[in-house]
Amino acid sequence: MKPALEHNPYVALEKDEVCIHCGKTHLHIALQNIAKIHISKRKSGYLRGLVDQLLRSHEIHHNLNIETRDHGAVKIAISPQERFFCIQLIHVLRAKLKSLN
Domains in the chain with CATH codes: 3-100 (2.30.29)
Q: Can you tell me the distance from the alpha carbon of 42 to that of 66, in angstroms, rounded to the nearest whole number?
A: 15
pTM of the model: 0.75
**For residue 73, what pLDDT is reported?**
93
Mean pLDDT of all residues in 45-57: 70
**Does the structure show a pLDDT above 50 at 96?**
yes
Mean pLDDT of all residues in 54-67: 77
**For residue 56, what pLDDT is reported?**
64
**Does the structure show a pLDDT above 90 at 99?**
no
Mean pLDDT of all residues in 24-53: 82
